[in-house]
Amino acid sequence: MKRLRAFGFGSGTTLMLLLLSATHLHGAAGTAYIPASDLEVLERRRPMTPAELQWRQRFVSSHTISPDLPAALQMARQFIELSRSEGDPRYLGRAETVLNRWWESKEATAEVLLLRATIEQGRHDFVKALDSLDRALQIEPRSAGAWLTKATIHTVRGEYAEARVDCLNLSRLADPLTVMAATAAVASMTGSAEASLRGLELTLAREQSRTSHQTLVWAHTLAAEIADRLGRSEAADAHFSEVFRIAPREPYTLAVWADTQLADGNQALVVRRLRDMTQSDALLLRYAEAAIQPNSGVDKQTALAAVIELGERIDRAHARGSQLHLREEARYRLHLAHDPAAALQLAQANWKVQREPVDWRLLIEASRAAGAKDVETEAHAWATEHRYEDVHWK
């Protein structure tokens, strides 16, 4: 109830809220019933993918089929890809389970270890992921995938010197745009945003036709983020449009894009685009943040239902002891539950784990809301030390 009262609506709204939450929590608690008809549809999903069918076959045929390594690697890759496209962390667990036999064993190949690191990274277990990558590189020092993943993790953690070394190692193993993007990701955080953007755009223009879709999506998204921090909204928009032309439902890009639109007051636009993408928590968060604003065009009840659902997902993550949610929960507390003190605590805990622009902005915003001048000063000191550039937050 505390959560609901925090919104500060009138008593009429509060009553509606209570009714709404009562029905909602009722649903969450899972009241058991026996369906009236055999034809009642309990769940509607897309048909199973080959990886899932193959996986199920294993259990249905009394657990005798155990995939060999190539088959296991292929299944694990498919599951990891599904975890991203479906926004469903179950698939990471399945990928881990497929690889479990080789996971700890001495015969773990570089490929197994790289996939393992990918899964660990997906769970924000950065220390373990770096360890797996080092093991992979001992077996296969020329693994571009391992160097790239290392560079990414080091950049996310704000370990820029290490990230630069990873990029140097990567430079002789990967295609020019990948190397450029990995390098720009580090350089744009450490005082060379302008040069990074220019370098990215030049390489993009030259390599566009020769590069895979995934690399293009990554490079354009990165360019859009840098352009946004430099205050070049037109350039940012152009890069976003490029991504959406190739991959209209790319979750990561949608999240970054939604943040720029929310800052510009384009709530209705965000709502329209994210409405049916809310299975991802990051996108549900942005959707809810947009929807509760009066200019979103969303009725209050729908908006609050989204807020409540996000709260429930966070509660459930707590129940299973998950640490995945620090960033989202901090924003939830800050923007939706109006609890700046809790938001600040979460933002600080999150800052210890990851230091991307969105995390820095969150720390500044939460410290301002909570009136924690010392935290804000520290965050600015960090920005000065690394020559981090961000025109929106000074």
Give residue 78's identity as a one-letter amino acid code.
Q
User: Residue 332 carries which DSSP code?
Assistant: I
DSSP string spanning 67-96?
Answer: --HHHHHHHHHHHHHHHHHH--THHHHHHH
Cβ proximity to other proteins: between 30 and 70 the closer is 30
- Provide the 3-class DSSP secondary structure of residue 250: coil
309 touching other proteins, by CB under 8 A: yes
**Contact criterion met (CB below 8 Å) for 284 and 278:** yes
Interface with other proteins: number of residues (CB under 8 A): 88
Q: How far is CA 326 from CA 8, 195, 266, 305, 351, in A?
A: 24, 32, 26, 21, 9
Q: Minimum distance between the CB of residue 32 and other proteins, rounded to whole angstroms?
A: 4
Stretch that binds other proteins, among 6-14, 139-147, 259-267, 368-376 (CB under 8 A): 139-147
> Maximum Cα–Cα distance for the chain, whole Å?
66
CB hemisphere CA count around 92 (13 angstroms)? 16
60 touching other proteins, by CB under 8 A: yes
User: Residue 188 carries which DSSP code?
Assistant: T
The residue from 169, 183, 215, 267 that contacts other proteins (CB under 8 A) is 215
| Footprint of other proteins on 177-206 (CB under 8 A) | 178
CA 220 to chain centre: 17
228 touching other proteins, by CB under 8 A: no
Q: Fill in the per-residue mask, 142 to 181: x = in contact with other proteins (CB under 8 A), - = not in contact.
A: xxxx--xx--x-------------------xxxx--x---
108 touching other proteins, by CB under 8 A: no
**Contact criterion met (CB below 8 Å) for 101 and 89:** no
Give the contacts of 312 (CB within 8 A, at least 6 positions apart).
Answer: 24, 25, 28
| Footprint of other proteins on 271-300 (CB under 8 A) | 279-283
121 touching other proteins, by CB under 8 A: yes
Stretch that binds other proteins, among 3-11, 234-242, 251-259, 379-387 (CB under 8 A): 251-259
31 touching other proteins, by CB under 8 A: yes
Q: Minimum distance between the CB of residue 368 and other proteins, rounded to whole angstroms?
A: 23
**Contact criterion met (CB below 8 Å) for 147 and 170:** yes
The residue from 2, 10, 11, 38 that contacts other proteins (CB under 8 A) is 38
105 touching other proteins, by CB under 8 A: no
23 touching other proteins, by CB under 8 A: no
Q: Minimum distance between the CB of residue 138 and other proteins, rounded to whole angstroms?
A: 17
